[in-house]
Structure 1
Amino acid sequence: MNIQQLEYLLAVDQHRHFARAAEACHVTQPTLSMMVQKLEEELGLKVFDRSRQPVCPTDAGESLIIQARQILLEVKRFEEIASTANNYIGGELRAGVIPTIAPYLLPLFIQSFVDKYPDVKLKISELITEQILLKLDKGELDVGILVPPENDKTIKEIHLYNEAFVVYTPREFEKEYLIAEDIDVNELLLLEEGHCFRSQIMKFCELRKQITNKVEYTSGSLETLRYLADKHLGITILPELATLHLTDEQLKNVKQFAEPKPVRKISLVTKRDFVKKRLVEVLSEEIKVNLPEKSKEVKEKLIVF
């Protein structure tokens, strides 16, 4: 039995397909299959039921895979201790970022991070919160950049910044600062189900009553919602970083909320037994350094989601 065989087990469990697992491990399928088979022969039992499609673990295999994941975690912890002692910052960091953060935050720090830490391979996936948390649980991601879930004692978070909500619409209002009641819910354009930003907006606007608008449009993209608002087809709410790239003309459509302003808390999230602590620390530092000054301001009157 060796570490490589355990890595192959986890790859097959993740992809539920020997060919795709081999591709992910950068080996041929016969090589991976042979290594898994040798391990099974050594153990005297089958880890995977190959008669089913997709391939799935046997009952005994489920327990072995859980233990293999723990063993590999300890191996990584061993390597991390050595890297820290040598003041070395390198290796692979797999990050998941939610779609309402990714296009606005990533361009702010990616290049400077790569320039500063050339030995770090940063692998980024754009995923919704539920998917990020699941992949953190399974060890398929190292860190998530998201709005942290409440009361989850299995995770550890590093707070990055609070991001204000803003209203986006060409429509004119009589007052400069808006409150939730100023927004007609029948004109509100929302993200589709699964996005935490949608849930936060619905909570803030108290969307409990029946919506009676003739056209109900939901999207997976904030940019689509903003474009529809530009065409006077509704009102949308954006996170503040989404306004950084707007033209002067588009900025006229941005309306601020009155205090206490609604904001969302953005954090780096890892599992509590995570080992690449130094990599996460430097990632956090680089993000914070490159945030707009407005995002670094400490505001007292806030409604945090």
Structure 2
Amino acid sequence: MTITQLEYAIAVDDHRHFGKAAEACNVTQPTLSMQLQKLEEDLGVVLFDRSKKPIIPTEIGKLVLAQARNVLREAHKIQTIIADARNQHDGEFRLGIIPTLAPYLLHRFIGSFRKAFPQVTLVVEELQTDAIVEKLNRDHLDAAILATPLDLPNITEVPLFYEPFMAYVSPSDPLWKEDFIVSSELNSTNLLLLSEGHCFRNSVLKICSDSDALVQNRLMVEIGNFETIVRLVDEGMGNTLIPYLMALEMKGDAQKNIKLIAEPRPVREISLIYSRNQLKNKMIQKLEEIVKSSVPKKLLQKSGTVIPPK
């Protein structure tokens, strides 16, 4: 049994296809298949049910593959220990971030991170929360930035800042004349929402807690970005809630449509999360420092009511 054979087995588990796994490992499919067969012979078990499409692990295979991931993680830790000792980091750092943060936060800190680690390739993936958690658990991401608390086993959450929810109100709505919007007032309007799967949508539904009124009045927009929703609000189709960092970047007349929500002001907790088995601790600690320094200082203090994303 070799490290390379374990890497091939994990690749097959990840891709559920021999050809794609071989491509990911930069080897030919016959080479990968032969090494996997040798591994199975050495272990005396069949790791994958090849009769299924796509290929799936056998029951014993699931147990072996879980341990194989632990073995590879510990093996890779040797390189990380050496890099930390020499302060010479290279390779990739894979960062996940949710879509309701990426357009408004990434540009604030990417430059500083690259300056701190010039030899490291930063790979950013914009994903919804469930996909991020799955990739963290499968070691496909080193860390992620998203809304918390999630309270998941084997995942460490480090709060970075607390971002207020802001109301974005159509000029044709009577609420537009108000300086502060009471969240319950939004129940009687067409509330434009992101599609299911976005944690921001879940939080909005918690803030506007009269679900019966929302069902009767809301206009459901099956789209994954705020920009289209904001345009619909501008056209008088309804109102919405947006994150504070987005509000900071809005220009011109759009600024007039942004309204504070009355106390107790709802906020979302934005955290850096990573697997408790994570190896790249120095880079993660530096990333925490950089992100915190990139946002307005007033967001660093917990102020308001944290709305859970789930």
Instruction: Give the TM-score taking structure 2 as reference length.
Output: 0.91
Q: Distance in 1 between matches of 2:208 and 2:154?
A: 30
SS in 2 for 1:68: helix
The 1:142/1:24 distance shift into structure 2, 3 A limit, reads same
The 2-side partners of 1:93 and 1:14 are apart by 19
Name the residue aligned to 1:178. 181
Matched, 1:190 2:211: no
Task: Tell me if the contact between 2:187 and 2:208 (Cα under 8 Å) persists in the aligned partners.
Answer: no
Identity of aligned residues (%): 43
SS in 2 for 1:225: helix
Distance 1:148 1:90 in 2: 29
1:294 CA displacement: 4.9
Choose which of 269, 273, 276 in structure 2 pairs with 1:269: 273
Structure 2 counterpart of 1:243: 247
Pairing of 1:58-137 with structure 2 (within 5 A): 58-137=58-137
Deviates more, 1:212-221 or 1:191-200: 212-221
Match of 1:8 in 2: 8
Any conservation in 1 of the 2:161–2:302 contact (CA below 8 Å)?
no
Structure 1 residue 260 displacement after superposition: 2.4
Indicate the larger mover: 236-245 or 164-173. Answer: 164-173
Distance 1:258 1:240, change over 3 A: same
1:286 to 275, 287, 290: 290
Judge conservation of contact 2:158–2:271 (CA < 8 Å) in 1: yes
Q: What one-letter code is carried by the residue in structure 1 that aligns with 2:92?
A: E
Specify whether residues 215 and 284 from structure 1 end up closer, same or farther in structure 2 by C-alpha distance, changes over 3 A only.
closer
Distance in 1, Cα, partners of 2:138 & 2:93? 15
Count of residues paired in the alignment: 303
Provide the residue aligned with 2:256 in structure 1: 252
| In 2, Cα distance between equivalents of 1:214 and 1:138 | 38
Residue in structure 2 matched with residue 227 of structure 1 by the alignment: 231
Q: TM-score of the superposition, structure 1-length normalised?
A: 0.92
Distance 1:154 1:185 in 2: 41
The answer as to whether partners of 1:186 and 1:212 remain within 8 angstroms in 2 is: no
Residue 303 of structure 1 is matched in structure 2 by 305
SS of structure 1 residue aligned to 2:124: strand
When residues 140 and 194 of structure 1 are mapped into structure 2, their CA distance, relative to the original with a 3 A threshold, is same
Which residue is equivalent to 2:30?
Answer: 30
Partner of 1:53: 53
In the alignment, the residues of structure 2 paired with residue 215 and residue 49 of structure 1 have an alpha-carbon distance, to the nearest angstrom, of 46
Whose helix fraction is larger, Structure 1's or Structure 2's? Answer: 2
List gaps (5 residues or longer) in structure 2.
none
Mapping for residues 135-214 of structure 1, pairs under 5 Å: 135-171=135-171, 173=175, 174-210=177-213, 211-213=215-217
User: Using a 3 Å threshold, how does the CA distance of structure 1 residues 121 and 227 change in structure 2: closer, same or farther?
Assistant: same
Partners of 1:77 and 1:214 lie apart in 2 by 50
Distance in 1 of aligned mates of 2:264 and 2:230: 24
One-letter identity of the residue aligned with 2:238 = G
Question: Could you tell me whether the CA contact under 8 Å between 1:185 and 1:207 is conserved in 2?
Answer: no
What is the deviation of 1:185? 4.4
| SS at 2:193 equivalent | strand
CA distance in 2, matches of 1:284, 1:214: 37
Go from structure 1 to structure 2 and tell me whether the alpha carbon gap of 1:215 and 1:243 turns closer, same or farther (over 3 Å shift).
closer
What secondary structure does 1:224 align onto?
A: helix
The question of whether the paired residues in 2 share the 8 Å contact of 1:189 and 1:218 is answered with no
Contact kept in structure 1, 2:192 and 2:218, CA below 8 Å = no
- In 1, Cα distance between equivalents of 2:133 and 2:244: 24
SS at match of 1:52: coil
CA shift, 1:74, in A, is 1.1
Asked whether the 8 Å contact 2:100–2:200 carries over to 1, the reply is yes
Deviation at 1:149, TM superposition (A): 3.4
Q: Does the CA contact (< 8 Å) of 2:191 and 2:218 recur in 1?
A: no
Shift of the alpha carbon at 1:28?
Answer: 2.6
Amino acid at match of 2:11: A
Gaps of 5+ in 1: none
